[in-house]
Amino acid sequence: MISRRTFLQLSASFGMVAGLRQFELAATPAQADYKALVCVFLFGGNDGHNLVVPLNPTQYAAYTGARGGLAIAQNQLLPINDAAQGPFGLHYGVPELQALYNQGKMAIVSNVGMLVQPTSFQNLSNSSFPLPTQLRSHSDQVSQMQTGYPNTGGNSGWGGRSADVMQSSNAAATFPVSVSLNGAAIFCAGVSTPLASLQPGNYMTQNGMNAYPAAASAARASAQQTIATTDSGNSIINLANKAMADAITLSPMLVNAGSGSTLTTVFPGTQLGNQLRDIARIISLRAQTGVGRQVFFCGLGGFDTHSSQSYNQYDLLQQVSKAVSAFYAATVELGVADKVTTFTLSDFGRTLQPSGTGTDHGWGNHHLVVGGAVSGGRIIGAFPQMTAYSTIGQANSTQQDFADNRGTMLPRLSLAQYGATLAKWFGAADPQLDSVFPTLSGFAARDLGFML
């Protein structure tokens, strides 16, 4: 039997997988145009102000003046350059990401946030102007960043909806095309594409199937299959049996991904490293499973740094840097570096002004995009001017970089534009993007140009 704990996990996961065709291990033709989107969610609200720091002398001086004790010394920052906007520094915990940026395999998308429509500082004083709901709420913003809806009304995610519009590329798929390795993430749930929620390292192997002689094991497996596929007359039991039947047929594929993989890339044994390792293993099965498009979700928590931010953010960011770098190396090894794009999301950014040894909830944030198809080595969008922070509240201020006098970034780029650029690379036609991102029609730029 599958253990009680595993069965409960499967029941939750495969309730959303119900509706997929019968999984098969038989080899199917590999899709020549395979592509995958891999979302790395930084739960809690990563502090983008210390992830990417301007090194222009005037802007760096304004940064240190506003950040106080949280400012990172210039000699600790990892230097990068943008041809149009000048020198910047990355947090000292991400040397692997610095290398990817300098190799042109990573782009930074500046000051992205959830928006209903383009929003100016003057709009914020208009009570009737449409803004996203509950902008400082973790649960609301985690949901909105994954669904693409500027409220809590979304019941599907933009990753799943991106898979919806690419169903023709998955006509021969015998494996879930939208997979979360970090719980039942709504990001992966489409309107017609179901979410598969799997656990890193859990290949759903069963106890009691190694009886002697081999004929006894075969008899047990046959009996179990019969029970799991027989109509019991009870809808609840039938659903549980469906979860069991799907698990029985999916398990060999996961075992093959885990033990049969020939990957030599070494992943860090961290929470995020284990998730990305299993995503790489699943991608390695693409020739067997007939998938043409896949969406993946993984994540790391702890970014709600209200206190002790300096050490905590370093610890988290170095985990992200090592895991993402290993994953990119794995895609190179698999020959799909230009077919797999990894990108970050987070609840929101944080305030430029510190609060004790930490920071408070903000709005806009900087995000990272990694892959062989990324037009990297540059910063996308106008980077916020630190000098503009000091003019907040002044009658003659014309700055549009901050939303308040605490240094909350006012997004210049919307989540819809960021996601639509990725979805277009994924294969969505321009008219389809509006069904994936409900607010996209309100923005002039539908492609931010960071994908080749």
Place of tokens 């495969």: 14
- In this prediction, residue 246 carries a pLDDT of 64
Q: Are 163 and 193 in contact (CB under 8 A)?
A: yes
Query: pLDDT tens digits for 361-393?
Result: 999 999 999 999 999 999 999 999 999 887 876
121 CB neighbour count, 10 Å cutoff = 17
- In this prediction, residue 222 carries a pLDDT of 87
- In this prediction, residue 374 carries a pLDDT of 98
- In this prediction, residue 205 carries a pLDDT of 66
Place of tokens 């395999």: 105
Residue 110 lies in a domain: yes
452 CB neighbour count, 10 Å cutoff = 11
33 exposure class (CB count in 10 Å sphere: 0-12, 13-18, 19+): exposed
What pTM value is reported for the model?
0.89
Closest CA to 323 of 117, 90, 97, 92: 97
Mean pLDDT by 10 residues, the chain (452 residues): 38 39 39 90 98 97 96 98 98 98 98 97 94 97 98 94 97 92 94 89 72 85 87 82 68 66 90 97 90 98 98 98 98 98 98 97 98 98 92 70 93 98 98 98 98 98
**CATH number of the CATH domain containing 140:** 3.40.720
- In this prediction, residue 393 carries a pLDDT of 63
Domain with 425 in it: 36-205+265-442
Number of domains in the chain: 1
Taking the C-alpha atoms of residue 63 and residue 195, their distance in angstroms, rounded to an integer, is 42
DSSP, res 441:
G
Q: What are the Cα distances from residue 435, in Å, to 112, 156, 158, 344?
A: 20, 12, 9, 22
Q: b vs e for 217-228, b when ≥16 Cβ sit within 10 Å of the residue's Cβ?
A: eeebeeebeeeb
Taking the C-alpha atoms of residue 166 and residue 317, their distance in angstroms, rounded to an integer, is 33
- In this prediction, residue 79 carries a pLDDT of 98
3-state helix, strand, coil in the chain (%, to 5): 40, 15, 45
Cα angle 99, 105, 109 (rounded to 5 degrees) comes to: 100
- In this prediction, residue 391 carries a pLDDT of 81
- In this prediction, residue 143 carries a pLDDT of 97
The contacts of residue 74 (CB under 8 Å, 6+ apart) are 55, 60, 89
- In this prediction, residue 398 carries a pLDDT of 67
Sheet order of strands, 86-90 included: 52-54, 86-90, 78-82
- In this prediction, residue 152 carries a pLDDT of 85
Residue 82 lies in a domain: yes
The most distant pair of C-alpha atoms in the chain lies apart, rounded to whole Å, by: 86
- Both tokens of residue 265? 């890339």
Q: Are 36 and 264 in contact (CB under 8 A)?
A: no
Taking the C-alpha atoms of residue 144 and residue 138, their distance in angstroms, rounded to an integer, is 10
Residue 280 lies in a domain: yes
Query: How long is the chain?
Result: 452
Residue 215 lies in a domain: no
Closest CA to 187 of 228, 224, 146, 151: 146
- In this prediction, residue 310 carries a pLDDT of 98
Residue 235 lies in a domain: no
Residue 41 lies in a domain: yes
Q: Are 177 and 194 in contact (CB under 8 A)?
A: no
Residue 300 lies in a domain: yes
Closest CA to 299 of 9, 44, 67, 27: 44
How far is residue 65 CA from its own chain's centroid? 33
- In this prediction, residue 5 carries a pLDDT of 38
Residue 23 lies in a domain: no
